[in-house]
Amino acid sequence: MLEIETLRDTAQRARAAATVLATLGTDVRDAILFDLSERLRARAGAVLEANASDVADAESSGMEEAMIDRLRLTPERLSGIASDVRRIVDLPDPVGEEFDARILPNGLRLSRRRVPLGVIGVIYESRPNVTIDVSALCLKSGNAVILRGGKEARRSNESLARLVQDALSAHGVTPDAVQMVHDPDRRRIGEMVRMRGEIDLIVPRGGATLIEYVRENAQVPVVAGGLGVCHTYVHGDADLAMALDIVDNAKTRRPSVCNTLDTVLVHVSVAGSFLPQLARRWAGPPVEIRGCDRTIDILRENNAPGPWRPAEPDDFGREFLALRAAVKVVDSLPEAIEHIRKYGSGHSEAIVTDGYQAATDFVNAIDAAAVYVNASTGFTDGAEFGLGAEIGISTQKFHARGPLGLRELTSYKWVGLGTGQIRP
């Protein structure tokens, strides 16, 4: 267990490991990851047993089902994690990539070359898959990582981190490249985010409270991700059958993740037809509709099945992470855009429309990491984007935005190749 006085030593060991990782060939890093994917399958029983204990404790403590769903591993989910690691193996190695090469008038050849960031600190809550996703991406991109998971997933995270360290050791690489902070004391978070010069980047993944704490207290560069208040706007010319499928998928596929729909905006011209259909579709899971006054009037007039009730003011702009959604009727595309600007978090937004101009106006006006036309917000995911996995989903603009993959875990250095040039 890492105590207060040894966490800095841990970062220093990670720094030494990062120096080694940066010089390893692609073949070695890929071999480690291939080994890890095999270990995830071969030792699935031990991982699932550890996870079952975490889930049992969470259930007995009264944790919300949405959070338990984030915590739970199944054979299928674990197999998917192993497959994601294999996909990362197959991705191009960004380390050493040369770009923007040119010859200056004096003959000096100048280019930029990708290099690892160094030591990444990731602070996350109840999703144990993050342990593997982050470790695999950091190793592939030549970075060491310090992981601080939530106490509710302690056994799961320890079991998974052990597999990563075993894979590293099997290939003669120090297990210090991936280290887990086991101490559940939240003061460790405060210590990590102030380790300037020893940790190069902090990525918080979790709720608004965690992310805001890190932003306000960090002395280390931060890429904040994970907080998603996602909207889907059904325009007046939309194919309503398609809109129904898109909205339903965005909400019910996996309601506990950050790319899940939170608010449906419906143009007034189609609200009378669309909203009763939506209520019938959502009566099954069931999804609770929290509607504006016009939404409730339409549902009541059509004897639509529940559950539904009037929205509270703070239901708009809320990340529900559960089978609930706010619904609002709007009079125009500009009103929908303004609502998203006011209440969105910059994560993922969508429009359903048959009109080229409406789609173009929406895409141009909405400032978010991912904007979709006639598709579910559920696609905002590193694996779905072809990145293998993600270290997080950034809702800010520097230095990366959207799913953080391999390239987003690198910086670059300028390399000048000369033949004796001197500056006059």
Model confidence at 3, in pLDDT bands (50, 70, 90)?
very low
Kindly indicate the confidence band of residue 215, based on its pLDDT and cuts at 50, 70 and 90: confident
Q: How far apart are CA 141 and CA 114, in angstroms?
A: 10
Q: Above 70 in pLDDT, residue 225?
A: no
Confidence of residue 1 (pLDDT cuts 50, 70, 90): very low
pLDDT mean over 225-239? 90
Residue 348: strand pairing partners: 370
pLDDT in tens, 241-272: 999 999 999 999 989 888 999 999 999 999 99
For residues 394 and 162, the model is more confident at 162
* pLDDT at residue 30, rounded to an integer: 97
pLDDT level of residue 22 (50, 70, 90 thresholds): very high
pLDDT tens digit sequence for 30-88: 999 999 999 999 999 999 999 999 999 999 999 988 789 889 999 999 999 999 999 99
267: exposed, middle or buried (C-beta count within 10 Å: 0-12, 13-18, 19+)? Answer: buried
Q: How confident is the model at residue 5 (pLDDT cuts 50, 70, 90)?
A: very low
Report which residue type is found at 131. T
Helix or strand (DSSP H, E) at 209: helix 208-217
- Of the candidates 45, 70, 53, 67, the one whose C-alpha atom is nearest the C-alpha of residue 163 is 45
Domains and CATH numbers, the chain: 4-223+404-417 (3.40.605.10), 230-379 (3.40.309.10)
Give pLDDT, residue 314.
94
Interval 150-209: pLDDT, tens: 999 999 999 999 999 999 999 999 999 999 998 878 888 999 999 999 999 999 987 778
Look at residue 338 and give its three-state secondary structure. helix
- Full-prediction pTM beyond 0.75? yes
Vertex 185: Cα angle to 158 and 167 (nearest 5) = 20
The model's pLDDT over 336-392, given as tens digits with 9 standing for 90+, comes to 999 999 999 999 999 999 999 999 999 999 999 999 999 999 999 988 898 888 888
What mean pLDDT, rounded, does the chain reach? 93
Q: Give the pLDDT of residue 226.
A: 57
Q: What percent of the chain has pLDDT over 70?
A: 98
* Whether residue 222 has pLDDT greater than 50: yes
Tens-digit pLDDT profile for residues 72-97? 999 999 999 999 999 999 999 999 99
pLDDT attached to residue 391:
85
User: What does residue 79 show for φ and ψ, rounded to 5 degrees?
Assistant: -65, -40
Give me the mean pLDDT over the 319-329 stretch: 95
Residue range 205-224: mean pLDDT, rounded: 87
Structure tokens, 356: 């080229």
- pLDDT value for 383: 84
DSSP track, 95-163: TT-EEEEEE-TTS-EEEEEEEE--EEEEEE-S-THHHHHHHHHHHHTT-EEEEE--GGGHHHHHHHHHH
> Which has the closest alpha carbon to 222: 137, 139, 330, 122?
122
* Residues 312 and 333: beta-carbon distance below 8 Å: no
Mark residue 91 as left, alpha or beta (left: phi above 0; alpha: psi -120 to 50; beta: remaining).
beta
pLDDT at 2 over 80: no
- Residue 69, classified by CB atoms within 10 Å of its CB into exposed (0-12), middle (13-18) or buried (19+), is middle
